[in-house]
Homo-oligomer: A and B are copies of this chain.
Protein backbone atom coordinates (compact mmCIF):
# COMPACT_ATOMS: atom_id res chain seq x y z
CA UNK A 1 0.00 0.00 0.00
CA UNK A 2 2.76 2.40 0.91
CA UNK A 3 4.57 1.77 -2.34
CA UNK A 4 1.34 2.07 -4.24
CA UNK A 5 0.70 5.42 -2.61
CA UNK A 6 4.13 6.66 -3.55
CA UNK A 7 3.62 5.53 -7.11
CA UNK A 8 0.30 7.32 -7.29
CA UNK A 9 2.10 10.56 -6.48
CA UNK A 10 4.49 9.96 -9.33
CA UNK A 11 2.00 9.56 -12.10
CA UNK A 12 2.07 11.79 -15.13
CA UNK A 13 -0.91 13.89 -14.07
CA UNK A 14 0.98 15.18 -11.03
CA UNK A 15 3.44 16.78 -13.39
CA UNK A 16 0.98 18.10 -15.92
CA UNK A 17 1.88 21.75 -15.09
CA UNK A 18 5.60 21.21 -14.64
CA UNK A 19 7.87 23.11 -16.99
CA UNK A 20 11.64 23.09 -17.28
CA UNK A 21 12.92 26.60 -17.63
CA UNK A 22 15.89 25.87 -19.79
CA UNK A 23 18.38 27.90 -17.76
CA UNK A 24 18.05 25.27 -15.01
CA UNK A 25 19.98 22.90 -17.28
CA UNK A 26 22.38 25.47 -18.68
CA UNK A 27 24.93 22.71 -19.30
CA UNK A 28 22.58 21.35 -21.98
CA UNK A 29 21.81 22.69 -25.39
CA UNK A 30 18.20 22.78 -26.57
CA UNK A 31 18.26 19.28 -28.05
CA UNK A 32 19.63 17.85 -24.80
CA UNK A 33 16.98 19.68 -22.78
CA UNK A 34 14.15 18.54 -25.03
CA UNK A 35 15.31 14.93 -24.93
CA UNK A 36 15.80 15.16 -21.17
CA UNK A 37 12.26 16.42 -20.66
CA UNK A 38 10.92 13.63 -22.87
CA UNK A 39 12.80 10.99 -20.86
CA UNK A 40 11.63 12.49 -17.56
CA UNK A 41 8.06 12.98 -18.80
CA UNK A 42 8.16 16.70 -18.08
CA UNK A 43 5.54 18.06 -20.48
CA UNK A 44 6.55 21.73 -20.72
CA UNK A 45 9.73 23.61 -21.55
CA UNK A 46 10.64 27.31 -21.51
CA UNK A 47 13.51 27.90 -23.93
CA UNK A 48 15.95 30.78 -23.75
CA UNK A 49 16.62 32.81 -26.86
CA UNK A 50 20.40 32.31 -26.91
CA UNK A 51 19.89 28.54 -26.76
CA UNK A 52 17.31 28.69 -29.55
CA UNK A 53 19.69 30.76 -31.64
CA UNK A 54 22.48 28.24 -31.09
CA UNK A 55 20.30 25.36 -32.34
CA UNK A 56 18.42 27.37 -34.93
CA UNK A 57 14.81 28.54 -34.69
CA UNK A 58 13.23 26.04 -37.10
CA UNK A 59 15.24 23.14 -35.75
CA UNK A 60 14.29 24.13 -32.19
CA UNK A 61 10.65 24.23 -33.14
CA UNK A 62 10.89 20.82 -34.78
CA UNK A 63 12.71 19.22 -31.85
CA UNK A 64 10.14 20.51 -29.38
CA UNK A 65 7.19 19.53 -31.55
CA UNK A 66 8.50 16.06 -32.37
CA UNK A 67 9.08 15.38 -28.67
CA UNK A 68 5.48 16.35 -27.94
CA UNK A 69 6.51 19.13 -25.56
CA UNK A 70 4.55 22.31 -24.98
CA UNK A 71 6.28 25.68 -24.64
CA UNK A 72 5.33 27.61 -21.50
CA UNK A 73 7.11 30.85 -22.42
CA UNK A 74 10.10 32.28 -24.22
CA UNK A 75 12.83 33.90 -22.11
CA UNK A 76 13.26 36.75 -22.72
CA UNK A 77 12.42 40.16 -24.14
CA UNK A 78 12.67 43.50 -22.40
CA UNK A 79 15.82 45.55 -21.70
CA UNK A 80 14.04 48.71 -22.80
CA UNK A 81 15.94 51.62 -21.16
CA UNK A 82 18.94 53.00 -22.99
CA UNK A 83 20.77 56.32 -23.16
CA UNK A 84 19.77 57.23 -26.73
CA UNK A 85 16.60 57.04 -28.79
CA UNK A 86 18.51 55.08 -31.43
CA UNK A 87 19.58 52.44 -28.94
CA UNK A 88 16.06 52.24 -27.51
CA UNK A 89 14.74 51.65 -31.03
CA UNK A 90 17.25 48.83 -31.49
CA UNK A 91 15.93 47.25 -28.32
CA UNK A 92 12.37 47.46 -29.66
CA UNK A 93 13.48 45.83 -32.89
CA UNK A 94 15.11 43.03 -30.93
CA UNK A 95 11.92 42.59 -28.92
CA UNK A 96 10.00 42.22 -32.17
CA UNK A 97 12.35 39.37 -33.14
CA UNK A 98 11.64 37.81 -29.75
CA UNK A 99 7.89 38.02 -30.40
CA UNK A 100 8.35 36.31 -33.76
CA UNK A 101 10.43 33.59 -32.15
CA UNK A 102 7.85 33.02 -29.42
CA UNK A 103 5.11 32.63 -32.02
CA UNK A 104 7.26 30.31 -34.12
CA UNK A 105 8.01 28.13 -31.08
CA UNK A 106 4.32 27.87 -30.28
CA UNK A 107 4.02 29.85 -27.06
CA UNK A 108 1.79 32.83 -26.45
CA UNK A 109 3.96 34.27 -23.64
CA UNK A 110 7.10 36.37 -24.02
CA UNK A 111 8.69 37.03 -20.64
CA UNK A 112 9.95 40.59 -20.21
CA UNK A 113 12.98 41.36 -18.05
CA UNK A 114 12.65 45.08 -18.37
CA UNK A 115 16.26 46.21 -18.07
CA UNK A 116 18.40 48.49 -15.89
CA UNK A 117 18.70 52.26 -16.08
CA UNK A 118 21.44 53.75 -18.28
CA UNK A 119 22.17 56.31 -15.53
CA UNK A 120 21.18 57.29 -11.98
CA UNK A 121 17.69 58.34 -13.02
CA UNK A 122 15.73 55.18 -12.24
CA UNK A 123 12.42 57.04 -12.50
CA UNK A 124 13.05 58.03 -16.12
CA UNK A 125 14.21 54.49 -16.86
CA UNK A 126 10.84 53.21 -15.68
CA UNK A 127 9.18 55.61 -18.11
CA UNK A 128 11.33 54.13 -20.88
CA UNK A 129 10.05 50.69 -19.91
CA UNK A 130 6.45 51.87 -20.15
CA UNK A 131 7.17 53.48 -23.51
CA UNK A 132 8.88 50.34 -24.81
CA UNK A 133 5.93 48.17 -23.85
CA UNK A 134 3.56 50.62 -25.55
CA UNK A 135 5.54 50.30 -28.75
CA UNK A 136 5.69 46.51 -28.56
CA UNK A 137 2.07 45.66 -27.72
CA UNK A 138 0.45 46.06 -31.17
CA UNK A 139 3.20 44.02 -32.80
CA UNK A 140 2.95 41.25 -30.18
CA UNK A 141 -0.82 41.23 -30.46
CA UNK A 142 -0.62 40.70 -34.20
CA UNK A 143 1.34 37.51 -33.46
CA UNK A 144 -0.99 36.37 -30.68
CA UNK A 145 1.80 36.79 -28.16
CA UNK A 146 1.19 38.23 -24.69
CA UNK A 147 3.86 40.20 -22.85
CA UNK A 148 4.59 38.89 -19.35
CA UNK A 149 6.27 41.51 -17.19
CA UNK A 150 8.44 39.70 -14.66
CA UNK A 151 9.41 41.85 -11.68
CA UNK A 152 12.92 40.97 -10.57
CA UNK A 153 14.32 41.03 -7.06
CA UNK A 154 15.40 44.55 -6.02
CA UNK A 155 19.01 43.36 -5.76
CA UNK A 156 18.98 43.30 -9.57
CA UNK A 157 17.72 46.90 -9.88
CA UNK A 158 21.09 48.23 -11.00
CA UNK A 159 21.95 45.55 -13.53
CA UNK A 160 18.87 43.76 -14.84
CA UNK A 161 15.54 45.44 -14.21
CA UNK A 162 14.14 48.66 -12.81
CA UNK A 163 10.85 46.77 -12.40
CA UNK A 164 11.44 45.33 -8.94
CA UNK A 165 7.99 44.80 -7.45
CA UNK A 166 4.79 43.08 -8.43
CA UNK A 167 3.08 46.37 -7.62
CA UNK A 168 4.96 48.16 -10.40
CA UNK A 169 4.54 45.22 -12.80
CA UNK A 170 0.79 45.28 -12.18
CA UNK A 171 0.65 49.03 -12.74
CA UNK A 172 2.50 48.70 -16.03
CA UNK A 173 0.31 45.80 -17.15
CA UNK A 174 -2.97 47.47 -16.24
CA UNK A 175 -2.52 49.99 -19.02
CA UNK A 176 -3.52 47.13 -21.36
CA UNK A 177 -6.04 44.33 -21.66
CA UNK A 178 -5.15 41.07 -19.87
CA UNK A 179 -4.81 39.31 -23.23
CA UNK A 180 -2.14 41.85 -24.20
CA UNK A 181 0.03 42.35 -21.13
CA UNK A 182 0.26 40.44 -17.84
CA UNK A 183 2.74 39.58 -15.13
CA UNK A 184 4.98 36.65 -14.29
CA UNK A 185 5.30 35.71 -10.62
CA UNK A 186 8.67 34.20 -9.68
CA UNK A 187 8.88 33.28 -6.00
CA UNK A 188 12.62 34.06 -5.85
CA UNK A 189 11.96 37.61 -6.97
CA UNK A 190 8.89 38.43 -4.87
CA UNK A 191 8.90 36.35 -1.67
CA UNK A 192 10.27 39.20 0.49
CA UNK A 193 7.48 41.64 -0.47
CA UNK A 194 5.22 42.70 2.44
CA UNK A 195 2.52 43.49 -0.12
CA UNK A 196 2.86 40.21 -2.05
CA UNK A 197 -0.54 38.68 -1.42
CA UNK A 198 -2.41 41.90 -2.14
CA UNK A 199 -0.51 42.19 -5.39
CA UNK A 200 -1.24 38.58 -6.37
CA UNK A 201 -4.92 39.28 -5.81
CA UNK A 202 -4.61 42.42 -7.87
CA UNK A 203 -3.01 40.39 -10.70
CA UNK A 204 -6.06 38.13 -11.00
CA UNK A 205 -6.67 37.27 -14.65
CA UNK A 206 -3.29 38.69 -15.62
CA UNK A 207 -0.83 36.08 -14.34
CA UNK A 208 0.97 34.66 -17.36
CA UNK A 209 3.51 32.51 -15.58
CA UNK A 210 4.57 31.14 -12.20
CA UNK A 211 8.25 30.35 -11.54
CA UNK A 212 9.68 28.42 -8.62
CA UNK A 213 13.08 27.90 -6.99
CA UNK A 214 14.28 28.75 -3.48
CA UNK A 215 16.34 31.32 -1.57
CA UNK A 216 19.30 29.61 0.07
CA UNK A 217 20.77 30.89 3.35
CA UNK A 218 23.39 32.11 2.96
CA UNK A 219 22.91 32.92 -0.70
CA UNK A 220 25.94 31.40 -2.48
CA UNK A 221 25.93 34.02 -5.24
CA UNK A 222 23.74 36.98 -6.16
CA UNK A 223 23.01 35.62 -9.64
CA UNK A 224 23.88 31.93 -9.60
CA UNK A 225 22.85 30.96 -6.10
CA UNK A 226 19.23 29.85 -6.34
CA UNK A 227 18.26 26.60 -4.70
CA UNK A 228 15.99 23.65 -5.38
CA UNK A 229 12.53 23.99 -3.90
CA UNK A 230 12.57 23.13 -0.21
CA UNK A 231 16.26 23.92 0.27
CA UNK A 232 15.66 27.55 1.27
CA UNK A 233 13.38 29.88 3.18
CA UNK A 234 10.62 30.73 0.68
CA UNK A 235 7.10 29.68 1.65
CA UNK A 236 6.53 28.36 -1.88
CA UNK A 237 3.30 26.52 -1.09
CA UNK A 238 1.68 29.62 0.35
CA UNK A 239 2.53 31.62 -2.76
CA UNK A 240 1.40 28.73 -4.99
CA UNK A 241 -1.92 28.62 -3.14
CA UNK A 242 -2.43 32.37 -3.61
CA UNK A 243 -1.70 32.10 -7.31
CA UNK A 244 -4.03 29.12 -7.62
CA UNK A 245 -6.78 30.93 -5.77
CA UNK A 246 -6.86 33.82 -8.20
CA UNK A 247 -7.35 31.30 -10.98
CA UNK A 248 -3.92 30.73 -12.45
CA UNK A 249 -3.91 27.23 -13.91
CA UNK A 250 -1.03 27.43 -16.36
CA UNK A 251 2.40 25.81 -16.33
CA UNK A 252 4.82 26.15 -13.42
CA UNK A 253 8.39 26.76 -14.50
CA UNK A 254 11.35 25.63 -12.43
CA UNK A 255 14.00 28.28 -13.01
CA UNK A 256 17.26 27.81 -11.14
CA UNK A 257 20.50 29.68 -11.74
CA UNK A 258 23.06 27.70 -9.78
CA UNK A 259 26.66 26.79 -10.58
CA UNK A 260 26.47 23.55 -8.65
CA UNK A 261 23.26 22.45 -10.38
CA UNK A 262 24.85 23.30 -13.71
CA UNK A 263 27.84 21.06 -12.96
CA UNK A 264 25.82 17.91 -12.31
CA UNK A 265 24.19 15.52 -14.78
CA UNK A 266 21.12 17.10 -16.38
CA UNK A 267 19.03 13.98 -15.83
CA UNK A 268 19.86 14.16 -12.13
CA UNK A 269 18.64 17.76 -12.08
CA UNK A 270 15.35 16.78 -13.72
CA UNK A 271 14.82 14.05 -11.12
CA UNK A 272 15.51 16.53 -8.30
CA UNK A 273 13.07 18.94 -9.88
CA UNK A 274 10.34 16.31 -9.95
CA UNK A 275 10.98 15.19 -6.38
CA UNK A 276 11.09 18.68 -4.89
CA UNK A 277 8.20 19.89 -7.03
CA UNK A 278 5.94 17.21 -5.57
CA UNK A 279 7.02 17.95 -2.02
CA UNK A 280 7.35 21.72 -1.95
CA UNK A 281 5.33 23.39 -4.72
- Known A-B contacts A120-B233, A168-B194, A235-B121; the reply to A155 vs B155 at CB < 8 A is yes
List B contacts of A119 (CB < 8 A).
233
A219 at the binding interface (Cβ < 8 Å): yes
Asked if B192 and A157 sit within 8 Å, CB to CB, the answer is yes
A175 at the binding interface (Cβ < 8 Å): no
Range of interface residues on A (Cβ < 8 Å): 20 to 34
Q: Could you give, for residues 100-140 of chain A, a 1 whenever the CB lies within 8 Å of some chain B CB and a 0 otherwise?
A: 00000000000000000101111000100000000000000
List the one stretch of A17-25, A44-52, A158-166, A265-273 in contact with chain B.
Answer: A158-166
Other-chain residue from B120, B167, B191 in contact with A194 (beta carbon distance below 8 A)? B167
- Copies of the protein in its oligomer: 2
A244 at the binding interface (Cβ < 8 Å): no
A217 at the binding interface (Cβ < 8 Å): yes
Asked if B235 and A159 sit within 8 Å, CB to CB, the answer is no
A4 at the binding interface (Cβ < 8 Å): no
Q: How far is the CA of A222 from the CA of B67 in the complex (A)?
A: 42
Other-chain residue from B126, B154, B159, B233 in contact with A153 (beta carbon distance below 8 A)? B154
Asked if B122 and A164 sit within 8 Å, CB to CB, the answer is no
Q: How far is the CA of A158 from the CA of B219 in the complex (A)?
A: 9
Q: How far is the CA of A36 from the CA of B154 in the complex (A)?
A: 35
Residue of B nearest to A171 (CB): B194
Asked if A233 and B191 sit within 8 Å, CB to CB, the answer is no
Asked if B165 and A194 sit within 8 Å, CB to CB, the answer is yes
List B contacts of A155 (CB < 8 A).
153-155, 219, 222
Asked if A122 and B222 sit within 8 Å, CB to CB, the answer is no
A71 at the binding interface (Cβ < 8 Å): no
A195 at the binding interface (Cβ < 8 Å): yes
Asked if A192 and B222 sit within 8 Å, CB to CB, the answer is no
- Known A-B contacts A219-B222, A222-B219, A222-B222; the reply to A192 vs B122 at CB < 8 A is yes
Give A79 Cβ to nearest chain B Cβ, in Å. 16
List B contacts of A168 (CB < 8 A).
194
A257 at the binding interface (Cβ < 8 Å): no
9 pairs from A and B in contact (CB 8 Å cutoff): A120-B233, A120-B234, A122-B191, A153-B154, A154-B155, A158-B232, A164-B193, A164-B194, A167-B194
